[in-house]
Amino acid sequence: MKRFAALFTRLDQTTRTNLKVAALADYFREAADADRVWTIALLSGRRPKRTVTTTLLRRWAAEQAGIPLWLFEESYPIVGDLAETIALILPPPEAVSDAPLTHWISQIGALASLPEEERRARVLDAWSRLEPTERFVFNKLITGGFRMGVSQKLMTRALSQATGIEESDLAHRLMGDWRPGETSFEALILAPDPSADLSKPYPFYLAYQLDGTPDALGAPGAWFAERKWDGIRGQLVLRGGACFVWSRGEELITDRFPEFAPLADALPAGTVIDGEILAWKEEAPMAFAALQKRLGRKTVPAKLLADAPAILYAYDLLEEGGTDIRALPFAERRARLERLVGNAVRDTDLPLRLSPEVPFADWDALATERARARALAAEGVMLKRRDSPYRDGRRKGDWWKWKVDPLSIDAVLIYAQQGHGRRANLFTDFTFGVWSGNQLVPFTKAYSGLTDAEFRKITAWVRKNTLERYGPVRHVTPHHVFEIGFEGIQKSPRHKSGVALRFPRMLRWRHDKPLQEANSLADLEAILAAYGGKTT
């Protein structure tokens, strides 16, 4: 596993994309065949099954390290990663091993059928023969949570560099139901694949965030507006009787949305649609959380498919009758899209809808529409110049997103907890309260939104202003006021304050605000009354 651990170290030691890709490409040129296939599998989310519970691993690691289990358990949240905690805590290895990655993966696989004592013996044996980084990798594999900070997209690019095969071709080869133990590098990657061209997507055109108001954009009549929906951007490619779905990261995600397959029959071949994938029920978008459940998995169980069915909300038409029409003006593409979708979607069982136009007479009217976004579970409005072509990448000028402002409230910092993992030495996890009479009622936690310098500053302050400690939590002197931003609010009997926020974060540190002027529970309840019914 030395070569694989060295790859892991190289990837881990740089934040630069091109260096990561270079490291992977080197690995794909040099590594043994079976290891290459396993690496591709791991980096495309095909992880080995978990064969030992983490409870057992923790116990064995603590025993082996000669420390009580509580001490292991206290260390774990500070390190932030179980595999790493185990790797760090164990005594140094007694021997070395030259066995390849594939060997250790099959060892892990074999554990499933063994009695606990035998499993323990094998895991301890592995730990005693692996260097710390190898151990970390081994632990990641055994706990089934392996991630290397490299997306499938980057892996595909590296593979392309190493083999000279085009990226979209490789992406196509890597989809589907192949298993690393049952295929070879030759069969998976190198053998010719005639259908690859069919799946090829177009580069996505991305909008810029509009700062301020759209007044500077000129005459409203030159612009088309629609909602900015809160799902994931996707491209539906229908060619040769097959259906392919690409994410904005240009990952092929067809397998995750099996309900789109019938579109290959319902629409003419040679059709490519840009749109938003949304979880959809009763002709309305569901909360993003519903869609998120779908994204986490390679295959979709039937229950999830029924609970959170997906549709494509169509924005744009990029290919029609097999012809690339991106150079046509948006208004023309949109007209063709309306015809196409309109014809197909008489049958509402099909997972395809047209993202409706938001008509507006002037910019003030559009501002009013934008303000309604939250109530419609949208994120704001999109503006597209009617005569613009479909460009690629993020370019200024023709497309703008105008997001709705977050809700916000001024709250007092009352509890602080040390961060873990990336922020183990700073206080970054805060609980905030609002006034109820002369008491502060905790109502939300927030972790992000401050600069590193601000986190350092508040950390030094927390150390000197701790009133009490409860385990890792410190109750601090109420003093600092922060503006907390959030995207939605909901009633929640489980919380002391009676509300739960969506995406809370610190917008700014209100040095200017005295403690007494922070908002009250009544203010929070007023926001709940205004917005609580509609968002999730």
Partner 1 sequence: MSALLTFTDDGIYCPEGDFYIDPWRPVDRALITHGHADHARDGMRRYLATDLAAPVMRHRLGEISLETLRYGERREIGGVTVSFHPAGHVPGSAQIRVERGGEVWVASGDYKLEDDGLSTPFEPVPCHAFITESTFGLPVFKWRPQAEIAEAMNAWWRGNAAEGRASIIGVYALGKAQRLMRMLDPSIGPILTHGAIENTNAVLRAQGIALPPTLRVTPDLVARDHPGAMVLATPSALGTHWPRRFGPAQTALASGWMGLRGVRRRRAADRGFIISDHADWAALNTAIAATGAERVFVTHGYTSIFSRWLSEQGYDAAIVQTAYEGESLDDPDPATGEEAEKAQGTQSPAAAP
Q: Is 421 exposed, middle or buried (0-12, 13-18, 19+ CB in 10 A)?
A: exposed
Spatial separation of the C-alpha atoms in residues 81 and 277, rounded to whole Å: 32
- Residue placing its CB nearer to partner 1 in the complex, 226 or 410: 410
Task: Determine the interface stretch with partner 1 among 69-77, 170-178, 326-334, 525-533 (rule: CB under 8 A).
Answer: 69-77
231 and 285 Cβ atoms separated by less than 8 Å: yes
Tokens read off for 276 = 């938003």
- Residue placing its CB nearer to partner 1 in the complex, 150 or 382: 150
Can you tell me whether residue 275 is helix, strand or coil?
A: strand
Can you tell me whether residue 159 is helix, strand or coil?
A: helix
22 binds partner 1 (CB under 8 A): no
Closest distance between partner 1 and the C-beta of residue 506, in Å? 11
471 binds partner 1 (CB under 8 A): yes
Here's the x/- map for partner 1, 70-109, by CB under 8 A: it reads as xxx-xx--xxxx--xx--xx--------------------
Q: How many residues bind partner 1 (CB under 8 A)?
A: 46
101 and 107 Cβ atoms separated by less than 8 Å: no
Closest distance between partner 1 and the C-beta of residue 106, in Å? 26
523 binds partner 1 (CB under 8 A): no
509 binds partner 1 (CB under 8 A): yes
According to DSSP, the residues that pair with 232 across neighbouring strands are 277
3-state percent helix, strand, coil for the chain, nearest multiple of 5: 40, 25, 35
Spatial separation of the C-alpha atoms in residues 157 and 521, rounded to whole Å: 52
Spatial separation of the C-alpha atoms in residues 288 and 99, rounded to whole Å: 44
Q: Which are the contacts of 122, defined by CB distance < 8 A and separation ≥ 6?
A: 107, 111, 114
Residues in the chain: 536
Phi and psi for 152 in degrees, rounded to 5? -60, -35
423 binds partner 1 (CB under 8 A): yes
Closest distance between partner 1 and the C-beta of residue 447, in Å? 13
Candidates 112, 190, 460, 522; binder of partner 1 (CB under 8 A) is: 460
463 binds partner 1 (CB under 8 A): yes
Spatial separation of the C-alpha atoms in residues 37 and 55, rounded to whole Å: 30
Candidates 452, 522, 526, 530; binder of partner 1 (CB under 8 A) is: 452
- Residue placing its CB nearer to partner 1 in the complex, 148 or 499: 148
Candidates 10, 46, 420, 534; binder of partner 1 (CB under 8 A) is: 420
- Residue placing its CB nearer to partner 1 in the complex, 114 or 473: 473
268 binds partner 1 (CB under 8 A): no
421 binds partner 1 (CB under 8 A): yes
Beta strand 488-491 with 427-436 is unpaired
- Residue placing its CB nearer to partner 1 in the complex, 330 or 509: 509
Q: Quick one: which of 290, 528, 303, 495 has its CA closest to 409? A: 528
Ranges assigned E (strand) in 184-309:
205-206, 208-209, 223-229, 232-239, 242-247, 271-281, 284-285
Q: Is 196 exposed, middle or buried (0-12, 13-18, 19+ CB in 10 A)?
A: middle
Task: Determine the interface stretch with partner 1 among 12-20, 27-35, 260-268, 440-448 (rule: CB under 8 A).
Answer: 12-20
Task: Determine the interface stretch with partner 1 among 44-52, 271-279, 370-378, 417-425 (rule: CB under 8 A).
Answer: 417-425
511 binds partner 1 (CB under 8 A): yes
Q: Which are the contacts of 194, defined by CB distance < 8 A and separation ≥ 6?
A: none
- Residue placing its CB nearer to partner 1 in the complex, 13 or 213: 13
- Residue placing its CB nearer to partner 1 in the complex, 49 or 511: 511
Candidates 161, 183, 436, 466; binder of partner 1 (CB under 8 A) is: 466
81 and 425 Cβ atoms separated by less than 8 Å: no
Tokens read off for 82 = 């179980």
Closest distance between partner 1 and the C-beta of residue 14, in Å? 6
Q: Tell me which DSSP letter residue 286 carries.
A: P
- Residue placing its CB nearer to partner 1 in the complex, 177 or 512: 512
525 binds partner 1 (CB under 8 A): no
47 binds partner 1 (CB under 8 A): no
Segment 110-129, which members bind partner 1 (CB under 8 A)?
Answer: none
Which residues are near partner 1 by CB under 8 A? 12-16, 65, 67-68, 70-72, 74-75, 78-81, 84-85, 88-89, 149, 420-426, 451-454, 456-457, 460, 463-464, 466, 469, 471, 508-512
